[in-house]
Chains A and B, each alone.
With several copies, the nearest count.
Chain A
Amino acid sequence: MQLKFFGKLAEVTGKPTMEITSIADTDSLLNKLLQDFPKLKEYNILIAVDKKIVKQNQQLESHNEVALLPPFAGG
């Protein structure tokens, strides 16, 4: 599954995209990322699955497009 990182989150991870395999759900994904990149704990993070913001834990499948988003700042 491909992960996308945007804005300051991409700075923390050092890259805008990342491949990841065998992650059951969005909560597990977030836990894994916070382990791999402890600095992410300093930020508010939104998760979008297939371009929809996920508010509760959601199952992930390999075809999903998963994006990690910092708070929006348009306008």
Chain B
Amino acid sequence: MKMKETKKHKVFVQGAITPEFIAASIAKHSAKTTIGAHDIFLGQVRMDTIDGKVVQAIDYSSYKDMAEEKFHEIREQAFNKFNLTCMHIYHSEGLVKAGAICLFVFVSSARRAMAFDACKWIVEEIKANVPIWGKEIFEDNTFVWKENIK
């Protein structure tokens, strides 16, 4: 793997990712005038019903050192595979209420095809390879461990 940049980017955000944070991130890109297309993926906590109980929040934990290394690898690989202008990944740690945003993947490119392909690839890589877990917490404070499906 070619190492284009070695700077580690901060990915983990305490609690939910707010719409204001997303707006500020979009606004910063107006200075990058070679960008023609952004694709943004947002993961939102669902109020699923599991065995009759309703999910109120997810409490995210991770093997943080390994997760940060994996996020960095995904970033490097994405820049090698796709012709991107820039990319950002943010993932929540700790408690995120149902309806709030827990994952924010932001990919920018000159043209749309690359942005779409890269964003989807990055989200699949995160789900498959980054050691993060979530407790789905019910009204009565019991919980189950979240399992990922497509």
Contacts and interface: CB of A to CB of B under 8 A. Distances in A.
Interface string A53-67: 000000000000001
A70 B148 contact: no
A39 B128 CA distance: 25
Nearest to B70: A51
B103 A73 contact: no
B130 A6 contact: no
Nearest to B103: A75
B145 A8 contact: yes
- Report which residue of A7, A69, A74 has the largest number of chain B beta carbons within 10 angstroms of its beta carbon: A74
Interface string B87-106: 00001000000000011000
Interface in B47-68: 60-63, 65-67
A70 to B, nearest CB: 7
A6 B145 contact: no
Contacts of A69: 63, 131
B145 A74 contact: no
B131 A48 contact: yes
A43 to B, nearest CB: 10
B63 A73 contact: no
- Report which residue of B131, B132, B147 has the largest number of chain A beta carbons within 10 angstroms of its beta carbon: B131
A72 B128 contact: yes
A4 B133 contact: no
A48 B102 contact: no
Contacts of B86: none
A38 interface: no
A69 to B, nearest CB: 5
A59 to B, nearest CB: 20
A14 B148 CA distance: 24
Contacts of B91: 74-75
Interface of B: 43, 60-63, 65-67, 69, 91, 102-103, 112, 123, 126-134, 145-148
Closest 7 CB pairs between A and B?
A74-B132, A7-B133, A51-B66, A73-B146, A75-B43, A75-B103, A8-B145
